[in-house]
Structure 1
Amino acid sequence: MTTTPRENGIAAGRLAGPVLQENFCDLHAPLDAHEAKVAADRCYFCHDAPCMTACPTSIDIPLFIRQISTGTPEAAAKTIFTQNILGGMCARVCPTETLCEEACVRNTAEGQPVEIGQLQRYATDRMLDRAHPFSRAEETGFSVAVVGAGPAGLSAAHRLAMLGHQVVVFDARPKAGGLNEYGIAAYKSTDGFAQKEVAWLLEIGGIEVRNGQKLGDQITLDGLREDFDAVFLGMGLAGVNALGLGEDKSGVMNAVDFIAGLRQASDLGSVPVGRRVVVIGGGMTAIDAGVQAKLLGAEEVTIAYRRGQQAMAASEFEQDLAKASGVRILCNVAPVGVTGNGSLTGVTLAYTDTQNGKLVVTDETFTLPADQLFSAIGQSLSGAPEAVALEGGKIKVDENGHTSAKGVWAGGDCATGGDDLTVTAVAEGRDAAMNIHTVLMGGK
């Protein structure tokens, strides 16, 4: 362990390079051909496959697994990509344990589902090194603006391009990918996979990506509606909910920025982390921040969540992963204060209770020593144009993804119905693109 100078117990280079490399290697080693064949042979190939129903993108799971079992993984990949063009990333980050694999008949009968996620990765990884499997239809003469190069926007752009439209994708960040590039734990997407997948997706042609273009700054919805035949909004949730406790102190930051900074770091040893870290929240972001802090060399990491463990948005698998990594999870506690003069020294938590169906913060408190605090209590929509109606803090859309504004659709986390999953965003972008195409071509 190095002894680099540190401020408030926060330091970079806590672990040696080889240790960091091992800590942040691929969470799940990919299957080889033999392992994939064995895994595929466990599938019952159900006629009314519940796994397919459980998949937000409705991939024909029995078909692609059968194609793997018969030695045609490229055909399996096309089956997957037809429904989910970001199937490679979804195979890495999808909570399959609560979706397709939870619904698997093998899981019901034996408690051990078919490894659907791993099989999906086995198939899709082989296609990314080959020619793009889809071609564009004849040019329609229509152009569509897509705001946001995340899962929803990229999915919409690809489907629209495939249908023959010209697409321009506008994104505020320097790189395309959105959540896949900036918001996922580094050990879930290694070796620059997010950018590799984006480059492969763009091989369809007909898509131009313009980075550094933020809605409300460099571009406006009125301007896009004037210049394009349709607009799709898929900019995600850029706002970060604040704790309202000690954000002005050194050592306090939001987990989203921590994860993004780590994903963009060329040298993991350059990312500073505290000795004692506290994360507030109970979702995937909290887990990703807590686990990665531990992997960077933090000595103590605690995730504090205000409700019981069953209410945590993070799946049981993710919770177990955190515990296995040495992260402590405290439930039924809420932050009520921080200590420290300028720099964080501790986080004060109060026990919570549910009374008459409502969460109540009690007067019983304790303070955890901490030199770093990450807030992971959710994100919010930022910079929504006035032309579109909102509902529950998100852009209101109908069953086709159409907003209240003529010629404007939306999908993904920024729209109602989104559930903060890459796979759901992909489905919503794809389906909105199909409706945009129908409307542009004169249908209803």
Structure 2
Amino acid sequence: MTNSPLSEGIVGGRLGPDQLADNFGDLHPRLEDHEALVAADRCYFCHDAPCMDACPTDIDIPLFIRQIATGTPEAAAKTILNQNILGGMCARVCPTETLCEQVCVRETAEGKPVEIGRLQRYATDTLMQAGVHPFERAAATGKRVAVVGAGPAGLAAAHRLAMHGHDVTVFDARQKPGGLNEFGIASYKSVDDFAAKEVDWLLKIGGITVETGKALGAGLTLEALKGDYDAVFLGIGLGGVNALGVDGEEKGGVLDAVDFIAELRQASDLGDVAIGRDVVVIGGGMTAVDAAVQAKLLGALNVSLVYRRGRERMNASVFEQDLAASKGVRIITNASPKAVIGNGAVREIEFEYTDDDLKPTGQTVRIAADQVFKAIGQTLEGAALPETERGKIKVTGAGRTSVKGVWAGGDCASGGDDLTVTAVAEGRDAAEDIHAALTA
């Protein structure tokens, strides 16, 4: 097996192809037709449905489930996609257990919610596999909009703008569109190249041109875009990664979790992805869990996820935490990194235990590690951006920035949670505001 560029001296190939295929199989396989009807039949179709209030994209959940129950999943899909054009991916990665399903009346009464996420996937998959794109492009307006970033926010904005008849050019720094959906989530949450297929399906609306390998910088400035286009939407995400800020961080084997996940998502052979024997992941969010679980699934002997606060303060949901534990990941809480130890490459990492207020207790522990993944948050990158606050682009209303004619949404913008579904909602709403501004 070949070595991965992520970690010199660490090789892939710990597990055979059959075991890897089994480990990275679909986390929540699509419901069969009969299963979907049974699942839909559990819905009470509440008039004041709390699940709708909990959905960042305001999908009419009782309606689409009723449409599935009456044998019209394509109609259900259109109900979903009208609010969330990336409803297929969101059905796979959205933390439904802390959003719509958490407030489901069935969850309150029985401790078992309606499987809203899996029903959403059933409907959207049915429509997409039929090759249908249920939206038509309005007459051309003659207006041109630049979208920077081909992630969930940018794609949602581009689709809604194109649907309104505007011509949209999407620029992205990578060589492939999709953003977080393509490069930033665990492989077992989106199998069979679904993220790319969903982008191809979305582009069927027409009126959208994608230019890859172009990031904001010397060759693509915000000022130039403002001059060339009638409006600009920024959905650039967070490109930087926070540093640990400890001695030895520069040693070999200390890597960014986002790079590890991206390599996994693009690997043609998972057996070629380098993984250590003793892996430590630092962080408490979804990225940390995705990295830790996948390290274990690739064949790492010991995987420890270490978080500086208590388990109840982790950004990863309880479901994700339990998933990690079920795969053999050891979760250590109230421990903050102090030093990376090793001669050139990491061999151990030292942590100091903390109390609930992050005050050090004076007690330390060393954990063996030949690979360390940092997942302690990402930072905004880019020059000459609109006004920022707390490390993100400041927005008001539906994504308006401090620069006239420039909107922003998704992880790069201040406001909602850093979730795919939230980014889609922000891109959609900004597009509606842009359309209103362009046609006023």
- TM-score normalised by the shorter chain: which range applies? over 0.9
Q: CA deviation at 1:217?
A: 3.2
Query: 2:3 and 2:230 mapped to 1: Cα distance?
Result: 56
Give 2:232's aligned residue.
Answer: 231
Report the residue type matching 1:21 in the other structure: A
Equivalent in 326, 329, 343 of residue 328 of structure 2: 326
Residue pairs, 1:266-285, within 5 angstroms: 266-285=268-287
Q: Distance in 2 between matches of 1:140 and 1:300?
A: 58
Counterpart in 1 of 2:292? 290
Amino acid in structure 2 at the alignment position of 1:181: E
Match of 2:406 in 1: 408
| SS in structure 2 of the partner of residue 349 of structure 1 | strand
The whole-number CA distance in structure 2 between the counterparts of 1:71 and 1:239 is 46
3-state SS of 2:113 partner: coil
* Residue of structure 1 equivalent to 2:359: 360
1:373 is matched with 372
Shift of 1:4: 9.3
Task: Report SS of the residue matched to 1:169.
Answer: strand
Counting only pairs closer than 5 Å after superposition, residues 49-64 of structure 1 correspond to structure 2 as 49-64=49-64
**Match runs of 1:63-82 below 5 Å:** 63-82=63-82
The aligned residue for residue 137 of structure 2 is 136
How far apart are 1:249 and its partner, in Å?
1.1
d(CA) in 2 for partners of 1:345 and 1:264?
28
Alpha-carbon distance in 2 for matches of 1:266, 1:115: 32
| Partner of residue 344, structure 1 | 346
8 Å Cα contact 1:8-1:344 kept in structure 2 = no
Give the match's secondary structure for 1:278.
strand
Instruction: Give the AA of the match of 1:100.
Output: C
For residues 112-138 of structure 1, the C-alpha deviation after alignment (integer angstroms, 9 at most, x for no partner) is: 000000000000001112221100011
Deviations 1:283-340 (A, max 9, x none): 0000000000000000000000000000000000000000000000000001101111
**Amino acid of the structure 1 residue aligned with 2:368:** P
Superposed displacement of residue 8, structure 1: 8.3
Q: Kindly indicate whether the alpha-carbon contact (under 8 Å) linking 1:8 and 1:343 is maintained by their aligned counterparts in 2.
A: no
Q: Give distance in 1, aligned partners of 2:416 and 2:175.
A: 24
Code of the aligned partner of 1:435: D
- Verify the 8 A CA contact 1:3 1:14 in the aligned structure 2: no
3-state SS of paired residue (1:261): helix
Alignment deviations for residues 263-301 of structure 1 (CA, whole Å, 9 cap, x no partner): 111000000100000000000000000000000000000
Q: CA deviation digits over 1:344-371, x for unaligned, max 9? A: 11010110013xxx32122210101111
CA distance in 2, matches of 1:365, 1:92: 39
Aligned partners of 2:8, 2:49: CA distance in 1, in Å? 54
Q: Is the 8 A contact 1:258 1:289 kept in 2?
A: yes
Shift of 1:244: 2.3
In 2, Cα distance between the equivalents of 1:343 and 1:167?
A: 47
Output the amino acid matched with 1:250: G
User: What is the identity, as a one-letter code, of the residue corresponding to 1:362?
Assistant: T
Structure 1 residue 218: Cα displacement: 2.4
Cα distance per residue 1:138-192 (max 9 Å; x no partner) = 1111010000000000000000000010000000000000000000000000010
> In structure 2, how many angstroms separate the alpha carbons of the residues matched to 1:363 and 1:396?
39
Return structure 1 stretches of 4+ with deviation > 6 angstroms: 2-5
Partner of 1:383: 382
2:348 and 2:367 in contact (8 A); partners too: yes
| Contact 2:249–2:339 under 8 Å retained in 1 | no
Aligned pairs (5 A) from 1:39-438: 39-129=39-129, 130-245=131-246, 246-354=248-356, 358-386=357-385, 388-438=386-436
Counterpart CA distance in 1 for 2:145 and 2:304 is 46
Report the secondary structure of 1:302's partner residue: strand
SS where residue 332 of structure 2 aligns?
strand
Letter in 2 for 1:416: S
SS for the counterpart of 1:320 is helix
The answer to whether the 8 Å contact 2:3/2:273 transfers is: no
Structure 1 unaligned blocks of 5 or more: none
Q: Is the 8 A contact 1:4 1:13 kept in 2?
A: no
Report the Cα distance in structure 2 between the residues aligned to 1:400 and 1:182, rounded to whole angstroms: 26
Higher alpha-carbon deviation: 75-84 or 9-18: 9-18
More deviation, 114-123/359-368: 359-368
Tell me, yes or no, if the aligned pair for 1:351 and 1:364 is still in contact at 8 Å: yes
Question: Distance between the aligned counterparts of 2:282 and 2:78, measured in 1?
Answer: 41
**Any conservation in 2 of the 1:144–1:168 contact (CA below 8 Å)?**
yes
Gaps of 5+ in 2: none
Q: Is the 8 A contact 2:159 2:205 kept in 1?
A: yes
Alpha-carbon distance in 2 for matches of 1:155, 1:186: 22
Structure 2 SS opposite 1:273: coil
Q: TM-score, normalised by structure 2?
A: 0.97
Rounded to whole Å, the distance in 1 between the matches of 2:311 and 2:219 is 43
Give 1:384 deviation, angstroms. Answer: 4.5
Equivalent-residue separation in structure 2 for 1:3 and 1:181 (angstroms): 23
Tell me how far 1:54 sits from its aligned partner.
0.2
Question: Which range moved further: 127-136 or 50-59?
Answer: 127-136
Whichever residue aligns with residue 161 of structure 1, its letter is A
Match of 2:189, SS? coil
The question of whether the paired residues in 2 share the 8 Å contact of 1:94 and 1:421 is answered with: yes
Q: CA deviation at 1:10?
A: 2.6
In the superposition, relative to structure 1, how do residues 192 and 146 fare at CA in structure 2: closer, same or farther (>3 Å)?
A: same
Note closer, same or farther for the CA distance 1:184–1:98 as it changes in structure 2 (3 Å cut). Answer: same
SS in 1 for 2:359: strand
- CA–CA distance in 1 between the matches of 2:433 and 2:140? 17
Are 2:3 and 2:10, in contact at CA under 8 Å, matched by a contact in 1? no
